[in-house]
Amino acid sequence: MEKYKRMLVEKGIKPTFQRIKILEYLEKHHNHPTVDMIYSALYKKVPTLSKTTVYNTLGVLSKHGLVSVLSTLDSEAHYEYNFNSHHHFICKVCHRIIDIDVPCTFRQYVEELGHKVEEVHGNFVGICKDCMEKQYE
């Protein structure tokens, strides 16, 4: 609670109960949730919560760099707490989004081309290990 409150205050965001809970959820759950997943999970503990607030809060949090929006081919946007930058594997079968750590160094190269790079999104799309193994059972 206090931890997330401080994080919000540091960024100049008023630490409301809803915002704290949403930030806490994202920091604790690395499942790259959608708005709906966040809403469903928090609804139990914050029964007054509205989906609009989830949208608004995610907008505020991402504007201040606390969370980031993933670029997927899914119809719904996926969000994650901003840990250290990493890549993703997106499974076409189970639709899981798996964190991938690779020492990507191309950011600097792109900067040298004259572009200002603010985010790097690396997505490997295919069939995940678990789903591959299930095919041969």
Partner DNA sequence: CTATTAATTTATAATCAATATAAATTAAAT
Partner DNA sequence: ATTTAATTTATATTGATTATAAATTAATAG
Q: Which of 41, 70, 77, 127 binds DNA (CB under 7 A)?
A: 77
Q: Which of 72, 79, 80, 97 binds its own copies (CB under 8 A)?
A: 72
CB of 55 to its own copies, least distance (A): 14
- Spatial separation of the C-alpha atoms in residues 76 and 130, rounded to whole Å: 23
The entry of its own copies, Mn ion, Zn ion, none near residue 99 (CB within 5 to 8 angstroms by kind) is Mn ion
* In contact, 73 and 125? CB cutoff 8 Å: yes
Size of the site for DNA (CB under 7 A): 23
CB of 51 to its own copies, least distance (A): 18
Q: How far is CA 136 from CA 79, 95, 127, in A?
A: 32, 19, 13
121 binds DNA (CB under 7 A): no
61 binds Mn ion (CB under 5 A): no
80 binds Mn ion (CB under 5 A): yes
* CB closer to its own copies out of 3 and 86: 86
Query: Between helices 51-63 and 17-28, what is the axis angle to 10°?
Result: 70
* CB closer to its own copies out of 38 and 91: 91
Q: In 3-state terms, what secondary structure has residue 67? A: strand
CA dihedral 63, 41, 20, 117 (to 10 degrees): -20
